Chains A and B, each alone.
Chain A
Amino acid sequence: MHGTLDHRPSVRLGAGIGLRLPHLAELAANDGASAALPDGLWFEVHAENFMVDGGPRLAALLAVARRHPISLHGVGLALAGTRMAPAAHVRRLRRLCDRVGPVLVSDHLAWQLVDHAHGRWHVPDFLPFPRTKAALALAIANVARIQDALGRRLLIENPSHYADIGNHDMPEHAFLGALAQATGCGLLIDVNNIHVSAHNLGLDAGWLVDQLPACAVGEIHIAGHRPDAESGLLIDSHDAPVAPDVWGLAARLLARTGPRPVLLERDADLPPLADLLLEARVAAGLLDAADAG
């Protein structure tokens, strides 16, 4: 697949919310709750939580999917790794896509499989790598393989960085642009990741946003972070409201891309769904401004 895939979802998406399990149970338990949800609200879930044979959790997701657009956000494909997730994992993702009918499917630009004394370790985090030409060729092959297996376009998320590991052949925006150009994949730009990385690496976050290939951006993530007092690093923790600087980066990116689906991620210290809806309204306001612009 080379740049021929339509990167726009079949429905126009505005502001969405990362749907975590407590809120899924709340929604599934109360069909009427949807009446209080804004029109066009969409949800994103971590695909791996639902890549199971059956049961109430999957049934709850399918029920929500009948009322709201759903995005499947994977955390396990290891798209920048020399070893990707097993074929069985890819088949499960395909099956989940068939059942849910997601409007977007995404995963991360990272490697995750480590040899361990007791076997393989699928690291539940997103490990960094030098952005070499060899790494780009590897990522292109991996993304193309997954898109072929799924029969649909992937969005690839930019990672958070905690140190400059060096030995890069190209900056991240060039790597992402080349990956999108070669595979037809879209980019999921997490502006919180950019903020965190810029702080940790001593870079200018606004400049980083300005370098991104705007036409390839298919989704934007916003999230909270926290400082680590001991190291001085910012941690991409998703356990706090979105910081003002991150809202600013989102607005800056939207001014370049035009309206794109914006997703509020919150994974820890989860507030009530109503609080997240209020925060998502800020994102909706940014989208309105981008639309008017």
Chain B
Amino acid sequence: MPADTSTGPTQSPARFEAWYARLLLGEAVPAALPLRRAVAVHANNAMVAACEALAGNFPVVHAMLGDTAFAALARRHVLAHPPRDPRLCLYGANFAITLAGCADLAAWPWLADMARLEWRVVTALFAADPPDRPRRLTPRRSWPLAPATGWLPSDWPIVSLWQAHQPGAVWPDDFPRHGELALICRRDSQVLVTALPADALSLLDALHWRTALAALDAAILAHLPALAAAGALVPAIGDG
């Protein structure tokens, strides 16, 4: 890579930014040692901040991989998908894509789903609060999902794996041999991740599309109390 011996454009902020951005991205290396050091400080600050945000938002993936492997993957992700939003608490929407595209992780095929699950935990944490006033339910209306509610069907026992990595959790003797449907919701200021029966997915999809309760099969509606108890639905009162 050729050394950049210029001292940068003088008058135009746009030209200066373009020049400095090339240095920051490593597309050119300043010839002057002080500038090289300064660019390295800024590049490192930016990388560390983004990697720390990923570590904070994906604690289970971090725990599964360990510090060294996670740091390498976080760095790869930052280079491919740098933060676009200054809110680093919401950084990492595409982390699962980075994990899924990493051939070295083929022996851990559930990792991408774990990243998807943890991203839903992040979005649940910062989602809008449900309305204070209970919604009046009638059979002709749907029962709205709470803003924080999300779900993830997985071919892996993703809920059991997630729960086993929570602080203070008891490590199970074994994990289920089947996939799990994860429900992510927020109740009493806590984000909860629970496993639902696989056929509850139909109900979640129906509520997502605001299907009237009267249009749902009784077998599907049977899952409604579990969703309400988990805090997955907005507060509501029936009309009898």
A interface residues with partner B (beta carbon < 8 Å): 48-49, 51-59, 74-76, 80-82, 85, 89, 111-112, 114-116, 118-125, 127-130, 132, 134-135, 138, 161-167, 200, 228, 231, 233, 235
B84–A125 CB distance below 8 A? no
Instruction: Please judge, given known A-B contacts A52-B126, A165-B38, whether A114 and B24 are in contact too, CB under 8 Å.
Output: yes
Can you list 18 A-B contacts with CB-CB less than 8 angstroms, sorted by A residue number?
A: A52-B87, A53-B129, A55-B125, A55-B129, A122-B84, A123-B24, A124-B49, A124-B88, A127-B20, A128-B38, A129-B17, A130-B10, A132-B11, A134-B12, A163-B38, A165-B8, A167-B9, A231-B41
B13–A134 CB distance below 8 A? yes
**Does B35 sit at the interface, judged by CB under 8 A?**
yes
Shortest distance between the CB of A163 and any CB in chain B (Å): 3
Closest B residue to A166 by CB, please name it: B7
Instruction: Please judge, given known A-B contacts A132-B10, A134-B13, whether A48 and B126 are in contact too, CB under 8 Å.
Output: no
B49–A56 CB distance below 8 A? no
**Does B103 sit at the interface, judged by CB under 8 A?**
no
| Complex contacts, B219 vs chain A, CB 8 Å | none
Q: Please report the total number of B residues contacting A with Cβ < 8 Å.
A: 50
**Does B37 sit at the interface, judged by CB under 8 A?**
yes
Instruction: Please judge, given known A-B contacts A55-B186, A132-B11, A138-B13, whether A162 and B42 are in contact too, CB under 8 Å.
Output: yes
CB contacts under 8 Å to A, within B1-45, are 7-14, 16-18, 20-21, 24-25, 32, 34-35, 37-38, 40-42, 45
Shortest distance between the CB of A267 and any CB in chain B (Å): 10
Cβ 8 A contact of B148, one of A55, A122, A129:
A55
B interface residues with partner A (beta carbon < 8 Å): 7-14, 16-18, 20-21, 24-25, 32, 34-35, 37-38, 40-42, 45-46, 49-50, 53, 80-90, 124-129, 147-148, 186, 189-190
| Complex contacts, B84 vs chain A, CB 8 Å | 119-122
| Complex contacts, A132 vs chain B, CB 8 Å | 10-11, 13
